[in-house]
Structure 1
């Protein structure tokens, strides 16, 4: 894999001397990783302390907004279908949320080189401005194209600027229990989904849609100022010019496990968002729940995801990320098919809680899984970017296609479509593990 030459072309902010590299090797990689013993090597991460945990808190706030707003889109989908955009189909309305999520991942991958070049604070400031602007502009939208522009494109671009900084800064402060620190920060997206969903539901009834959107914009502004004030990147050598990370690693396409993992990303993200977008409309249309109660399904799902973003990541440090990922994908596929047989309120609530737990793990485990599938730490950034691009296209087409399937074949067709996509992703994640370490069930990977 030409490890030595690749290492010379990539900066290695995640390597922290012999001890920290060894710690990360023991927790996330089955193969020895190169160690940089030069004077310019990054200092050892503190692995705790006030400053380090303040970075986790700042990352939590970034996740609260970038993924929290994306995860709350289901309440907007339900509201638009039943109130503001009743003359539009579910598939057409779903493009708002799918473009938003697509840009979060796609632009997030493109901003990686800017982060590597030292533009951390510029990314935070730009993302903060765009997200607040987009949320404010939603308040004056009345047509579908206006919602696509403000909520889909502007908010999506802002979220994309915040996503990579929220993840990339943590390995500079943690080498041991890195997956757990990412999981704690990632729980902010679940809490954000709860807060934004409930805030919109309650405020649009009391003060109207316009001011409800503006209040959400103010919440975003306040919670994004905090990371701007307290987050900072630890520099390995201030006098050393940082190298720009490449956007594409051609050697990854010659590795069968990583190629299979990319296919998993497309199918998995094409199917995983079906309940998040459509469960509220399903509950109302089938008269399982009144609209006032159906709006709370998305906050309940996000509450479950908080558990899924922390507990499985803690266990993944012991069992292996890919080993944890297989039951996660399979569980989501089974739940999607089980959704077909749910026709009462208790069953739907149990379903949405379980789905939230599994989707929380689904969203956070890929970060440590990429480490497992990389020959050394110098290519992790670019490979995460490649995975994000593939996943973004899965999100972009998944829910609009689901809406078209719903229009043509009804709810069973939509539920089956989501379940089938997730089952295909399960097959590919199993194939990824087998291609990497073989079929031995006890092998940690």
Structure 2
């Protein structure tokens, strides 16, 4: 309802305290804050426009952090419509975020924030760092205890490992929103180390599935999701850079762990190699438990399945998640099969051992540099570029490259570009989400991605087997799945800013 211009400024304060009967409020102004009562809201509607700032301070609007998170021109269809509606009302108050949720409330630095980044770095070293060297497990199993199984069957061990870890985000993200990171970190550390110890005792196929693919991955998922969501809560404008620094821990893990495990398997055997890794992870995850904190207080609430579906119904969220799935479908294939493919091309075994460390070493830069660029140029813009580079070099270099130099160049370029994808994926989800739901939204995205990781390697292994050990079909599947993700990322950008050359941050 329109404010009465006859009411003076001096009488406005008394009007706030009144609860006199008034006509039914304008539907557009109802339920605008979870904190107000209907009678008080109706009284506040009678305040003239110059008093609206007082109202905003008393009854802050719930934040749609997404709108604040996109620069001019990047609000998308919903944001533009809201701005047009606000422009039509001369006395409409500017939207205000609850304390702690507006962009200005994010510290974007400070001791606690950077300690959280360091703790997250340690957690990523242990979790995704081990995922980055699944090729070592694949090669060991095929040459050792599982030599009688086909490659496509053995691939299910590492595929289930990645799937369980990423799918767990749907549950652990929800638990993070309700209870914070500590329970997830402590519990995840215990379960993860226990699962690795059981892996060291395994000799049968089903034992590797239970210990490595399920138990250890559940603990890994809890620690990973708690760390990722916590760091996001501390940073806004520098979020891409902070996440890039944090996930570089997984790249360094991918450099150290393959060399460490390969040498230890040769010298002391697989069981003690895994135990040494487990003890190292126990120490590093202990640091994570002490340093990773969330800026936001826990908000316990009942589990509602509808919350997962609601996020995917939003066009920009749903399209972005599909794009993440498609890239995940092909992303792990070079990590899983480049060792086997290089051996098939006749590469020297001493050089083959260092392919994964080279890929992950370059990935350190790939996870940091695109994060900084994304904060300046736009996260969707940079994501489209790096996924396009991955697809083009997979199709244009990995397929025709038949010598050592070509394979190494591909490993370097793909390591850099795929590293950028890992750091920017969570940043995209945070950008289009309310920070108070960051756990469940990132968890939902990871859950959908997980099915790409689950099916990608077994499909690729089956393709190799059907082609008599040749890798052309695998390489085509890898390249075109990533190329499809480029198109879908562009569609996600289009629903927000169209074809215009604007920055989506």
Partner Cα separation in structure 2 for residue 18 and residue 191 of structure 1: 40
Partner Cα separation in structure 2 for residue 64 and residue 17 of structure 1: 39
| CA apart distance, 1:285 | 2.3
- SS state of the match for residue 320, structure 2? helix
Q: Are residue 128 (structure 1) and residue 189 (structure 2) matched?
A: yes
**Under a length normalisation based on structure 2, what TM-score does the superposition of the two structures give?**
0.78
| CA apart distance, 1:324 | 0.7
Which shifted more, 65-74 or 172-181?
A: 172-181
Partner Cα separation in structure 2 for residue 381 and residue 5 of structure 1: 25
1:11-35 per-residue CA deviation (whole Å, 9 max, x = no partner) reads xxxxx9999x799636799347964
1:384-416 per-residue CA deviation (whole Å, 9 max, x = no partner) reads 222111100111011111100110022111111
- 2:358 aligned partner: 300
Q: Are residue 152 (structure 1) and residue 213 (structure 2) matched?
A: yes
Partner Cα separation in structure 1 for residue 196 and residue 105 of structure 2: 40
Partner Cα separation in structure 1 for residue 472 and residue 192 of structure 2: 36
- Higher relative CO (Cα under 8 Å, sequence separation at least 6) belongs to 1
Q: Are residue 269 (structure 1) and residue 328 (structure 2) matched?
A: yes
- 1:430 aligned partner: 490
**CA contact under 8 A between 1:320 and 1:444: conserved in structure 2?**
yes
- SS state of the match for residue 226, structure 1? helix
Alignment of 1:28-427 (within 5 A): 30-31=74-75, 35-37=96-98, 44-236=105-297, 242-243=300-301, 248-290=307-349, 292-337=350-395, 338-374=397-433, 376-409=434-467, 410-427=470-487
- 1:12 aligned partner: none
Structure 2, unpaired ranges of 5+: 1-27, 36-59, 80-93
Partner Cα separation in structure 2 for residue 372 and residue 262 of structure 1: 13
Q: CA distance change for structure 1 residues 78 and 377 in 2, over 3 Å: closer, same or farther? A: same
Partner Cα separation in structure 2 for residue 39 and residue 285 of structure 1: 56
1:87-118 per-residue CA deviation (whole Å, 9 max, x = no partner) reads 11111111111111111111122111211222
1:301-336 per-residue CA deviation (whole Å, 9 max, x = no partner) reads 111111111100100011111111111111111122
| CA apart distance, 1:231 | 2.7
**CA contact under 8 A between 2:33 and 2:61: conserved in structure 1?**
no
Instruction: State the Cα RMSD in Å.
Output: 3.1
Q: CA distance change for structure 1 residues 235 and 4 in 2, over 3 Å: closer, same or farther? A: farther
Which shifted more, 45-54 or 215-224?
A: 45-54
| CA apart distance, 1:155 | 1.5
1:104-158 per-residue CA deviation (whole Å, 9 max, x = no partner) reads 1111221112112225222111211122112222222112211111111112111
Structure 1, unpaired ranges of 5+: 10-15
Partner Cα separation in structure 2 for residue 39 and residue 297 of structure 1: 45
1:332-389 per-residue CA deviation (whole Å, 9 max, x = no partner) reads 1112212111111122111101111011011121222224444x44454433222111
Partner Cα separation in structure 2 for residue 120 and residue 281 of structure 1: 39
**CA contact under 8 A between 1:271 and 1:417: conserved in structure 2?**
yes
Q: CA distance change for structure 1 residues 92 and 175 in 2, over 3 Å: closer, same or farther? A: same
Q: CA distance change for structure 1 residues 209 and 416 in 2, over 3 Å: closer, same or farther? A: same
Partner Cα separation in structure 2 for residue 388 and residue 4 of structure 1: 35
Which shifted more, 81-90 or 248-257?
A: 248-257
Q: CA distance change for structure 1 residues 5 and 428 in 2, over 3 Å: closer, same or farther? A: farther
Aligned length, in residue pairs: 433
**CA contact under 8 A between 1:274 and 1:418: conserved in structure 2?**
yes
| CA apart distance, 1:84 | 2.9
Partner Cα separation in structure 2 for residue 28 and residue 402 of structure 1: 43
| CA apart distance, 1:199 | 0.9
Partner Cα separation in structure 2 for residue 436 and residue 51 of structure 1: 33
1:43-102 per-residue CA deviation (whole Å, 9 max, x = no partner) reads 944432333211111010111111111111111112222233221111111111111111
Partner Cα separation in structure 1 for residue 482 and residue 66 of structure 2: 35
